[in-house]
C-alpha cells in the first residue's frame, strides 16, 4: 500500500463544475504539498499545508492532521485546469501520491 493515496485517479468534469480531489497519507508529516503537472512534465507547487485551509484564486486546499487527509477543491473549473494533480508529503524528500488526472471539458 502506498504511503500517499489519492482519489479519484481520473476525473472528467464539465466547465464550471466544482471539483474535489482527495489525498490520504499514512506517515507522520510536517507539511503536505499540492502540485500540478502539465503534459509537458513541468511541476508547479500550488500549496504547502501544515494545518487548516488555504485559498488561492479558484483553488482551495484543506488538511485534517488528525485524520491524515487533505482535499484540493477547484471552484468554477475551466479547461485550462486540465492537468495531473499530485499531493506529496515530506520536506527535502517528497513522497508523491499516485496523482489525479483531471480533464475539464468546455
Partner 1 sequence: DAGVTQSPTHLIKTRGQHVTLRCSPISGHKSVSWYQQVLGQGPQFIFQYYEKEERGRGNFPDRFSARQFPNYSSELNVNALLLGDSALYLCASSLDDGGADTQYFGPGTRLTVL
45 is an interface residue for partner 1 by CB under 8 A: yes
Is the distance from CB of 103 to CB of 11 less than 8 angstroms? yes
Q: State phi, psi for 95 to the nearest 5 degrees.
A: -105, 120
Q: 5, 20, 65, 94: which one contacts partner 1 (CB under 8 A)? A: 94
**How many positions of this chain bind partner 1 (CB under 8 A)?**
22
Q: Do 88 and 97 contact (CB within 8 A), yes or no?
A: yes
Our CB check for partner 1 shows the closer of 31 and 60 to be: 31
- Measured from the CB of residue 42, what is the shortest distance to partner 1 in angstroms? 5
60 vs 95, which CB is nearer to partner 1? 95
Distance CA 79, CA 68 (A): 30
Q: Which residues bind partner 1 (CB under 8 A)?
A: 30-31, 33, 35, 40-45, 48, 50, 86, 91-99
Amino acid at each position: 500500500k502506498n504511503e500517499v493515496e489519492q482519489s479519484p485517479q481520473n476525473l472528467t468534469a464539465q466547465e464550471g463544475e466544482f471539483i474535489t480531489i482527495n489525498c490520504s497519507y499514512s506517515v507522520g508529516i510536517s507539511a503536505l504539498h499540492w502540485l500540478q503537472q502539465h503534459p509537458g512534465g513541468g511541476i508547479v507547487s500550488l500549496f504547502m499545508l501544515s494545518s487548516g485551509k488555504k485559498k488561492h484564486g479558484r483553488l482551495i486546499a484543506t488538511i485534517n492532521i488528525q485524520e491524515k487527509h487533505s482535499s484540493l477543491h477547484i471552484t468554477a473549473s475551466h479547461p485550462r485546469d486540465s492537468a495531473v494533480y499530485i499531493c506529496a508529503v515530506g520536506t527535502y524528500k517528497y513522497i508523491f501520491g499516485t496523482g489525479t488526472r483531471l480533464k475539464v471539458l468546455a
